[in-house]
């Protein structure tokens, strides 16, 4: 059983919509990563957080340690945001467990 669960698996949106992707994990972790994977396969690290909230441009990531839950929000979505977003839990300070990803498509 995957110890990192993401929802939804697939998400479509119209340009400008507010988007939320959720991640739940079942083990005690050191930190949680949000990653973005483009169709070509390359991965970009968006956020690493262990508590609270981080913001970068139109992207916001939050984590609730007690509830073992994290969310990634995209404000004013744009077609270039279309990608797979992956949640990854870091445990033992150096091992990542990955979720299966959320495939986001934003249409103009």
Partner 1 sequence: EADIYQTPRYLVIGTGKKITLECSQTMGHDKMYWYQQDPGMELHLIHYSYGVNSTEKGDLSSESTVSRIRTEHFPLTLESARPSHTSQYLCASSEDYDRGYGYTFGSGTRLTVV
Nearest distance from C-beta of residue 102 to partner 1, angstroms: 12
Sequence-ordered list of residues with C-beta below 8 angstroms from that of 74, at least 6 positions apart, any chain: 18, 19, 58, 59, 60, 81, 104
- 28, 39, 40, 108: residue in contact with partner 1 (rule CB under 8 A): 40
Q: Cα–Cα distance between 53 and 100 in angstroms, integer? A: 23
- Rg over alpha carbons for the chain, rounded to the nearest Å, is 13
For partner 1, the closer of residues 5 and 17 by Cβ is 5
Q: Which of 48, 54, 58, 71 touches partner 1 (CB under 8 A)?
A: 48
Q: Which stretch binds partner 1 (CB under 8 A): 13-21, 28-36, 57-65, 72-80?
A: 28-36
């Amino acid at each position: 059983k995957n110890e990192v669960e993401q929802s939804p698996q697939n998400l479509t949106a119209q340009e400008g919509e507010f988007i939320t992707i959720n991640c739940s994990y079942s083990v005690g972790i050191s930190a949680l990563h949000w990653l973005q994977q483009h169709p070509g396969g390359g991965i970009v690290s968006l956020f690493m957080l262990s508590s609270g909230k981080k913001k970068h441009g139109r992207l916001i990531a939050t984590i609730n340690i007690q509830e073992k839950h994290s969310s990634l929000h995209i404000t004013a979505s744009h077609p270039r945001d279309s990608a797979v977003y992956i949640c990854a839990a870091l445990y033992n300070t150096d091992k990542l467990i990955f979720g299966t990803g959320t495939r986001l498509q934003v249409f103009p």
